[in-house]
Amino acid sequence: MLPLQRYKIGFIASSKAGHVFRRNYTKRIIKNFWHKEFKEGDFLFVLYKSISPRDRSVLLEELKIVSEKVKCEKV
């Protein structure tokens, strides 16, 4: 069994979410953070807005809040 079979992460992002390099940057930040917090599970993110590198700290703070909520819901 491959270790990645227990962990899947997906993204839905249209071109309305920003330029491709910002969408990819945003997805990369989310993937890195989420993989550190969760070692298994299936996750889907819908990007409505991409971020610039200067907004990275705001995104990380929001991800911390969401990850704590997900951890509380996990049974």
User: Domain limits of the chain?
Assistant: 3-73
User: How crowded is residue 14: how many other Cβ atoms within 10 Å of its Cβ?
Assistant: 10
Residue 1 pLDDT grade (very low, low, confident, very high; cuts 50, 70, 90): very low
User: For the residues 59-67, what does the mean pLDDT come to?
Assistant: 94
Q: In 3-state terms, what secondary structure has residue 7?
A: strand
> Per-residue pLDDT tens for 15-25?
888 899 999 99
pLDDT, residue 40, reads 86
Q: Where are the alpha helices (DSSP H) in 4-55?
A: 20-37
